[in-house]
Amino acid sequence: MTVWAKEQEQIRKAGWEIFDAVASYRPGGYPRLGLAPLGLELSTRSNALLARQVVAAERSRGNLRFEAKGLNKLDVRLANELASVYLGLASKHPGVWVDSINFSTSLAELGSAVLGCASSTGANWPALHTLSYEVGSIDAEDVLALAEGHESLDPRVLRAAWVEATQLGTRSRTLDLQSHGSIELSECLGHPRCYGTLQSYWQLRNEQRSVKGRPLRLVPTYLSEASFILVHEFGHVVDAALAGLGKEAWYHVVEALEDALLRDEDGRWLIKDRALREAGLTRRDARLINYPTHVPVRGEGEWRRVVRKVVGEPIAHQVGSYAAWTLDEMFAEAFAVAYSTKDPELSRRLAGFKRALVDVGLASSRRRSFA
């Protein structure tokens, strides 16, 4: 708990108590939000059975190498909540494949404040990922063997694939190269004191930001903090899947997000040309397709700062301050808010973003039943 010592001191000084995290556990997920599996009653007694059910459900829809880890480290009620939310997302997004999800693991090497992370198969293993489609296999060893017989393949890509396979090591035998990514959640969520501190601190921080008129870190939603983190990370995997569909699909979805966050119901820009000119920006700078990403570009530091201020701040007031950091985080945060916001007007505006994911084949207008 030493990583939360500073936050605990702030909570104490504010006269607050650490929240009872156990009281927030939500077995069964959120059926009314579509974040629960249809036709499947998950165990609320056995973590081992719950893990087997999650794996069986994913493999029943064709995700044959899927792995569910870390559920045994959680209170079975919280484990059931997160498993329910995950399967609800999976059934709603048949075009998105998660290779593995670890519901409770140490993320200390990423920083004490990191509570979840998602990795992209295509970004981490680009050569193997590309070759897997060329030769039609999800297995690294098969991909390398089959690729050797393809004279038309770029030898540079093949060499890079061999290097990646070496880096993967034994993981190469379980990784689905055509999956879109994997998810990890912090073990903090499984410790009631740690999770309760997180809940208290997030609410305190929101109140402090509200008093100052600043965007909330987390806008009001129907989800627990743990479930929101999970949906956010799943949003990153959706983003990775979208990137693999090509520019046309990517533009379609990002423009739908732009319409939701930067235009009014009549299609007029919320950020006026005058405000852009005063900040030294153009209308092109205000387009989300050009918004800063997680990859910094030399010489663009000042531009990124101004864009985050002028374009990111009105977005932050709608879906939370973290969304303004990069387009990647904006996508994931908006994805999670679209499923869980308590604001009916915001839900209505983000519906177009969700429809765009259906348009490109990543989402379905109806959930698949696991019965």
Domain range enclosing 334? 246-359
pLDDT band per the 50, 70, 90 thresholds, residue 4: confident
Same domain assignment for residues 286 and 205: no
Measured between its terminal Cα atoms, the distance across the chain in Å is 42
Q: How many domains does the chain have?
A: 3
pLDDT at 148: 82
Same domain assignment for residues 130 and 91: no
161-170 contact pairs (CB < 8 A, 24+):
161/127, 161/128, 161/131, 163/127, 164/125, 164/126, 164/127, 164/128, 165/128, 165/140, 165/141, 168/125, 168/128, 168/140
Same domain assignment for residues 233 and 306: no
- 249-278 per-position pLDDT tens digit: 999 999 999 999 999 988 899 999 999 999
Same domain assignment for residues 225 and 193: yes
Domain boundary among 241, 257, 287: 241
Average of per-residue pLDDT across 301-316: 93
pLDDT at 1: 41
Angstrom distance (rounded) from CA 135 to CA 21: 48
pLDDT at 22: 97
pLDDT band per the 50, 70, 90 thresholds, residue 3: low
Domain membership flag for residue 364: no
User: With 50 as the cut, is the pLDDT of residue 365 above it?
Assistant: yes
Domain membership flag for residue 369: no
Domain membership flag for residue 315: yes
Same domain assignment for residues 114 and 143: no
Same domain assignment for residues 215 and 148: no
Same domain assignment for residues 106 and 210: yes
Domain membership flag for residue 308: yes
Same domain assignment for residues 88 and 195: yes
Domain boundary among 241, 273, 294: 241
Domain boundary among 241, 264, 287: 241
Domain membership flag for residue 368: no
User: With 70 as the cut, is the pLDDT of residue 2 above it?
Assistant: no
pLDDT band per the 50, 70, 90 thresholds, residue 283: very high
Domain membership flag for residue 366: no
Same domain assignment for residues 44 and 106: yes
- 228-253 per-position pLDDT tens digit: 999 999 999 999 999 999 999 999 99
Same domain assignment for residues 152 and 192: no
User: With 60 as the cut, is the pLDDT of residue 162 above it?
Assistant: yes
Same domain assignment for residues 132 and 10: no
Measured in degrees and rounded to the nearest 5, phi and psi for residue 98 equal -100, 125
Same domain assignment for residues 74 and 135: no
